[in-house]
Structure 1
Amino acid sequence: MSDVFWLSRDLGLPPGDQYTQDWAYELPEQYRTRAWLEKYLAAYLMGGYSPQARHELMTLALDVCNDLVSAGASSAEEPMVRVLSALFEDRQANGDLIAYWAMEGEVLEECFALTPEVRRLKACKRTTGA
């Protein structure tokens, strides 16, 4: 069974179908709220999922954070702070996601709403070695 199947079953999410390519990005709006974000983060932190499933959960959490920030929330609000903290706590496994959301070399006007905070945290972690 696929990681998406298990995540869908465990969290009560639609599993997608044979045409679904990017499950985390294609979930309907009703699953892209603060309440759902809390569930994704809890599942990520709980453990028990494969590295690929945890990657999918972090991808989903970051995308929902970006939606919330785009809609006017601050990246300094909960649960966005906890998602970004979890992202950087496991930099080894999340390096590709950090690079994706940081969009290094791109002007901020052409980046995600979450990009400035990801860049700030990345620079902070680099200078402190944390």
Structure 2
Amino acid sequence: MENSYPQYITKEAIEMLDEKLNLAVRDKYSQDWQYEVSDPSRVSEFILFYEDAILNNEEKFALMSLIISSLDDALEEGYEISGLWGKISHHLVNEIKIHYNTIQYWALLEEDLDNCFAVTPLIRDVAKKYLL
């Protein structure tokens, strides 16, 4: 599959999402934005913003990375996620060219599930159906 869509989260996408979603303030040395501002209690809010806001591909890519990171935290912390995964997977599949790299990253197809993220089994299902 040709991958002409985002591979990295851009500064511009981060700044827009930080402002619109009132995300945590980070210092100038911050890295891995999606992990630093991840919030398992806001997954539904992030999904609604994804669905309702007018976003470019870079913003969608960044926001989906945040959504999945937050969902991973929610799974780790025992939050109820019923209904959320269906919405997330719908967007991953419908805009697979934008989220191809995100799916690849979280699926960890080369790893044993013992060494993976909590969300990896869910993402692997999408990867196996639509990427392989």
TM-score (norm 1): 0.80
Which residue of the partner structure matches residue 104 of structure 1? 109
Which residue of the partner structure matches residue 54 of structure 2? 48
Query: 1:121 & 1:5 partners in 2: Cα distance?
Result: 29
Query: 2:120 & 2:27 partners in 1: Cα distance?
Result: 30
Aligned residue pairs total 122
* Counterpart secondary structure, 1:14: coil
Which residue of the partner structure matches residue 82 of structure 1? 87
Say which is worse superposed, 91-100 or 38-47, in terms of deviation. 38-47
Gaps of 5+ in 1: none
CA contact (8 A) 1:66 1:113 kept: yes
Query: 1:39 & 1:74 partners in 2: Cα distance?
Result: 14
| CA apart distance, 1:101 | 0.8
Query: 1:5 & 1:121 partners in 2: Cα distance?
Result: 29
Does 1:91 pair with 2:96? yes
Gaps of 5+ in 2: 1-10
Q: From the superposition, tell whether residues 126 and 70 of structure 1 become closer, same or farther in structure 2 (CA, over 3 Å).
A: same
Query: 1:52 & 1:15 partners in 2: Cα distance?
Result: 21
| CA apart distance, 1:15 | 4.1
| CA apart distance, 1:24 | 1.3
Moved over 4 A (4+): none
Does 1:33 pair with 2:48? no
Query: 2:105 & 2:58 partners in 1: Cα distance?
Result: 17
| CA apart distance, 1:78 | 2.1
Query: 1:19 & 1:106 partners in 2: Cα distance?
Result: 30
Higher relative contact order (CA 8 A, sep 6+): 2
Query: Match for 1:18 among 24, 28, 37?
Result: 28
Query: 1:8 & 1:80 partners in 2: Cα distance?
Result: 23
TM-score (norm 2): 0.79
Q: From the superposition, tell whether residues 107 and 19 of structure 1 become closer, same or farther in structure 2 (CA, over 3 Å).
A: same
Q: CA RMSD in A?
A: 2.2
* Counterpart secondary structure, 1:48: coil
Q: Which amino acid in 1 is paired with 2:48?
A: A
CA contact (8 A) 1:37 1:61 kept: yes
